[in-house]
Structure 1
Amino acid sequence: MNSAHRLSFGRLHPKAPQLLFMCLTVALLTGCAAFKQPSEQEKQTVHELTSTMRTWALGRGLIDLPANWSGGGDVKLYYGLGADHASVEVRVLGENVTQERFDAALNERARRIAAVKNDEQQDASMLVSARLETPQKIWLQYFESTEVPDTFVHEFHLLVGDAYVMLRAVSFNGNTAPVEDRLLKLSKEIFKVTPETAGAGFALDSIVIRSHHDQEIASFDFSPPASDVSLSIYINALSPDDEERLHVRTPKDGQIFLAGDYENLRARKITLAGMQAEESLIGFSDDTHRQILFVSENYRDNPSLARPGMSIRLSAGGMKGESVDPNEPEDLVRWTLPQFANKGYELPLWQQPASPEPVNPSLTDYEAMAVWDAILKSVRIRYGAVAPRPDPEANIRGPSVKEAAESKRILHEFIASFENPSHVPGRGSAGATGMRSPCVSNEL
């Protein structure tokens, strides 16, 4: 720029207003180029993903996801909040499960656990017991490991309607009775529902858990079939909010894990499930591929079962999920076996095929952000999802059989006194013509 177009600190050059206008125009056009309008194909993709969405249970809430996505979750229930708390893990292992498939899965599970020997217990089987409560309720008990002889894992396998549910807990020091009592009680508090009709309780896939526990921590994972896109949700009902908000942690984590080499696509305050929240949307690349990572966290001053802490993450790019044969029945055993009984499922390292090459995101930034926005706006807490806890001090005991019989006798005598006035206590037959109600005092 020659000296005639330079700006003076003391006064404006006569052509400065025109020059300033030109600079603002260029800047505005540049900004518009950075936020290009979506293509018709992108709009169509977003429409296909968000126009028809399926509602899923999400603990005390609900969430809507694209219709072709699938997944589920598990929850750990805590009884007591001190060091001596107890916990129970609840998983739905399968849907649309027949009694025959349930029986076959239990037989395979028990066989694999029993086949392993505990070399610290004179080569006794790791499976301690397997017994039938009902055809739809089966107990399994096994050593947690060979190192601790009196620590056991208790599994209670349930067929609730056509949902295969597993309850799992650990007993210590050989004290097994309280654990089995807790699992038996919990098994009677699980019901088959649809997400929209779940009512009170913690909803997981197609069941709702209506127990009175003190804390619940859950994880959910969803994705389209054979895709690089995945959605993960972590729920912790009573956890306090992180002292550092998401907008503070993102630059720190980006510097540590990505050396600061990432794109900040969007960061802002939002509302999640009716609570204050933040989101951070970034993209990053290496020499082979690009990935995107969207994160949102909610914040609340008064954590409770009805105001749980939520962390939601959507990722795209990287490793692609394997395709699943729709005609092949879901494996009801493999993914939840104890580690010591999982032999034979995986090939040795030298026989495993090479890992597939990572891929770029199958969604554009615009498509991913549009789907993300639709999902987050759908998260809501169900009305009446938390039932009032019974007051342990309340005396709700009903009358005994003897007390009920005595009350019934007194009631019958009272009714008879109206039908036959001569039987009114304290009055003779002469008082029939001027009988007053037995409820009225003689002193009035």
Structure 2
Amino acid sequence: MTAIPTERTTHCIGRYLVTLPSSFELHTSGWGNIELYYGLGKNFETVYATVKQERFTNEAFWDEVNKRRFEMRDTKNRKTQGSMLLYGEQINKVTALLRRLPDEASAGSIKSELHVLVGQRYVTLEQKSYSNDDNNITYRNADPAPAEARLKMIASKLLPYENAERAKPGFCMQGVLFDVGQDDERASFQFGANDVGDVVLEVDYHAVTGQPRQGILERRKQAYAAYAPFHTMISTLREGKTQLGGDPAEESLTRANQSPIHHFFDIERRDDQPRTLERPFFGIALKTGMRYFVPVPAGQKPPETEGKAYYSSRSNAIVHPESDSSLSDKQVLQLWDEIVASVRKR
């Protein structure tokens, strides 16, 4: 079995803290790891936010902004036969606005992107603007001004932090504090371990809305009733009611009985109290035996692989498919209990 390192690092997950082995890194990429909601009625607005995983200098930030701008400029929209990029502006030394069509195939709305450097963290913010004329839905009838005003407001209030335990109140992820007047917030946090690549930790975070109607114990019970073979395929190591961050929760810890041996550990906050920004619903899942990628450094030749691992030219990485867990039942239980016990309100 693989040894678990002893050093620990504390991370901010929304309005909570969790302490993990120092080899665990938060992976953020693409768009929309964070969703901020303004207004909770029928016509609420959603802002999608992402904090890139790497740290950026000002020069590297602008290189990335221009890369994105040129990509949009040179991509043709099939509906208009013109460029996807509608407008670009450098607002100040650390902020840029890009206005574009929603995708290559449609032109019924406008997406506004704000790129902002917060300390050394690269944040992207995005909101969509729609046409108000149901009889003539085109981006030409969409007014991006309200959305862009909101994005600029958010950008002006973002704050960096280095120490998660000392960060100011508010929602935080990957070194950036989002205390920006939101009415609701959702996020997905995914941590991967550098030294045990098959181990993945995920946090599903919903503040005011989005709590599952049924708890995890009830959902597991229904799954077993609906598919009897689960009883022979999966063993339950532990389940029941417990605590998460000082609040009532439900826990289900299972393992596969057939190779590849996986562990599926889940815990969810569960109580009858109304959800608020300060009293969110969130769940944590730990999985082992998962597929993972080991990138090949640029300019280096891929190493020879043995067994089931193989080189993928598309991702320029060695792919390790699903396999037996690198951690024993005892190790996973010990790691899990330590992680869950470390979760606390900021």
AA of the residue aligned to 1:248: E
Alignment of 1:71 onto 2:26: yes
The structure 2 residue matched to 1:323, chosen from 281, 291, 294, is: 294
AA of the residue aligned to 1:168: E
Task: Provide the rounded CA distance (Å) in 2 between the counterparts of 1:75 and 1:240.
Answer: 14
8 Å contact 1:280–1:294 — kept in the other structure? yes
The structure 2 residue matched to 1:169, chosen from 111, 127, 144, is: 127
**C-alpha spacing 1:359/1:220, structure 2 compared with 1 (3 Å):** same
Structure 1: any 5+ residue segments left out of the alignment?
1-40, 329-345, 383-444
The structure 2 residue matched to 1:276, chosen from 239, 248, 258, is: 248
Query: Cα distance, 1:201 vs. partner?
Result: 1.2
The structure 2 residue matched to 1:158, chosen from 105, 116, 134, is: 116
- If each structure's strand is expressed as a fraction of its own residues, which one has the higher value? 2
Alignment of 1:99 onto 2:58: yes
TM-score (normalizing by structure 2) = 0.84
Query: Cα distance, 1:107 vs. partner?
Result: 1.6
* 3-state secondary structure, aligned to 1:90: strand
Query: Cα distance, 1:57 vs. partner?
Result: 0.8
* 3-state secondary structure, aligned to 1:238: coil
**C-alpha spacing 1:273/1:72, structure 2 compared with 1 (3 Å):** farther
* 3-state secondary structure, aligned to 1:175: coil
**C-alpha spacing 1:257/1:222, structure 2 compared with 1 (3 Å):** farther
Task: Provide the rounded CA distance (Å) in 1 between the counterparts of 2:211 and 2:47.
Answer: 24
8 Å contact 2:293–2:320 — kept in the other structure? no
What pairs up with 1:189-208 in 2 under 5 angstroms? 189-193=157-161, 194-208=163-177
Alignment of 1:290 onto 2:261: yes
Task: Provide the rounded CA distance (Å) in 2 between the counterparts of 1:237 and 1:302.
Answer: 10
Task: Provide the rounded CA distance (Å) in 2 between the counterparts of 1:299 and 1:147.
Answer: 42
Find the counterpart in structure 1 of residue 217 from structure 2: 247
The structure 2 residue matched to 1:266, chosen from 238, 241, 265, is: 238
TM-score (normalizing by structure 1) = 0.66
Find the counterpart in structure 1 of residue 305 from structure 2: none
Find the counterpart in structure 2 of residue 55 from structure 1: 10
Task: Provide the rounded CA distance (Å) in 2 between the counterparts of 1:253 and 1:142.
Answer: 44
8 Å contact 1:140–1:154 — kept in the other structure? yes
Task: Provide the rounded CA distance (Å) in 2 between the counterparts of 1:353 and 1:375.
Answer: 30
Find the counterpart in structure 1 of residue 183 from structure 2: 214
Structure 2: any 5+ residue segments left out of the alignment?
132-141, 300-312
CA-to-aligned-CA distance 1:150-178 (integer Å, 9 cap, x gap): 41111100111111111111111112100
* 3-state secondary structure, aligned to 1:213: coil
- In our comparison, the structure showing a higher alpha carbon Rg is 1
**C-alpha spacing 1:241/1:216, structure 2 compared with 1 (3 Å):** closer
Task: Provide the rounded CA distance (Å) in 2 between the counterparts of 1:164 and 1:258.
Answer: 48
Query: Cα distance, 1:324 vs. partner?
Result: 3.9
* 3-state secondary structure, aligned to 2:294: coil
**C-alpha spacing 1:352/1:257, structure 2 compared with 1 (3 Å):** farther
8 Å contact 1:94–1:165 — kept in the other structure? no
CA-to-aligned-CA distance 1:191-242 (integer Å, 9 cap, x gap): 0113112112111110101111110011100011161100000010113654
Alignment of 1:364 onto 2:328: yes
Quote the RMSD (CA, aligned, Å).
2.6
**C-alpha spacing 1:353/1:325, structure 2 compared with 1 (3 Å):** closer
AA of the residue aligned to 2:114: F
* 3-state secondary structure, aligned to 1:171: strand
* 3-state secondary structure, aligned to 2:332: helix
* 3-state secondary structure, aligned to 1:367: helix
The count of residues paired between Structure 1 and Structure 2 equals 315
AA of the residue aligned to 1:114: R
What pairs up with 1:397-416 in 2 under 5 angstroms? none
Alignment of 1:379 onto 2:334: no
8 Å contact 1:62–1:381 — kept in the other structure? yes
